[in-house]
Amino acid sequence: MKRTTSVALSGFGVPESLRWHQGALWFSDLAHGTVHRWDGTGEAETVLKVPGRAGGLGWLPDGRMLVASMDGGVVYRLETDGELVEHADLRHLVGGPVNDMLVDPHGRAYVGNFGFDYHAFAREHANAMLYAPPGPTKAPIACLAPDGTLLGATEPVLFPNGCVLTADGTTMVAAETLAMRLSAFPVLPDGTLGQPRPWAPLISPFLWHAVNHPGLLGRITRRISALLDHPAVARRSASPIAPDGIAWHSDGETMWIANALRGECVRVAEGGRVLDRVTTSQNTLSCLVAGHDGHTLFAATVPTDDPVRAAELNGGRVEMLRL
């Protein structure tokens, strides 16, 4: 039997970007634009509200927090006196909401974006219809220096999302949500990212070919996939895996994946072999292995990732399981 998480916190819109910092769990609420901190007891503390909806989180070496503004197209910096100032302007680079962010030990920030208005599309169409030619719009990962200046950007990829560094800092593994894969980028000496290579495909090659096919095969596959997206069917399906947030397992070699299409976190090895599955109560957008013992799996779950509807429902949860 698959193990199941328990609910630790509830009443949020879209909890996301789980981080462990200075002995506490931090996360954003993408629906309400807030950043929260939880020390493991009582209720979570609201730390600040971010203009344009809070997204990815990270900290500079001196302790100042960086937070992405999804709709504002910028990254903000929280100064020691509590003032929120603009750290970097990405509006010339992004084609959709600014998304997850990784800040490395040097203070360099790696920031993704949707590439297009995903939620507007999803309100009218099934996810499978994204792959009708020409397919989803791609987006680069921006690389920022510690002072917020743009170091560079990767070639566009399919919905860059959660990302992690290897222990030696030489490689960044990033989730390409709409490509249903994890990709590995070499970290170059100047902090920019090189050409990616596959780290873990999370959909069968045949199904990927079929859903993207420009002809009759593609049209049939997309229609069938749309039917299978029904929640009652999806809950009973083990495929595909759309990676949102990702986190290293405690072994530092295998990866936990928040499956945005299912109520689960999935652990995979490099190459894509599934090693473990943990059931959550709702679709999962972010995961993290941390805690005071370093062996607790945290998961951010939602009844819907649409920020408008989620703000009305306030059904977002943070769940946990000791591994």
255 is written with which tokens?
A: 């990866």
- 209-250 confidence digits (pLDDT tens): 999 999 999 999 999 998 877 666 666 666 689 999 999 999
pLDDT of res. 322: 96
Q: Are 286 and 258 in contact (CB under 8 A)?
A: yes
Question: Looking at 72-208, which runs of residues are DSSP E strands?
Answer: 74-78, 84-89, 98-103, 109-113, 142-144, 150-153, 160-165, 171-176, 181-186, 197-201
DSSP string, 8-32: EEEEES-EEEEEEETTEEEEEETTT
pLDDT of res. 87: 98
pLDDT of res. 316: 98
Q: In 3-state terms, what secondary structure has residue 178?
A: helix
pLDDT of res. 161: 97
Percent of the chain whose pLDDT exceeds 90? 94
pTM above 0.85, yes or no: yes
- Cα 265 to chain centroid distance, Å, stands at 12
pLDDT of res. 235: 64
Positions of the chain with pLDDT lower than 70, given as ranges = 1, 230-239
d(CA 77, CA 66): 5
pLDDT of res. 239: 64
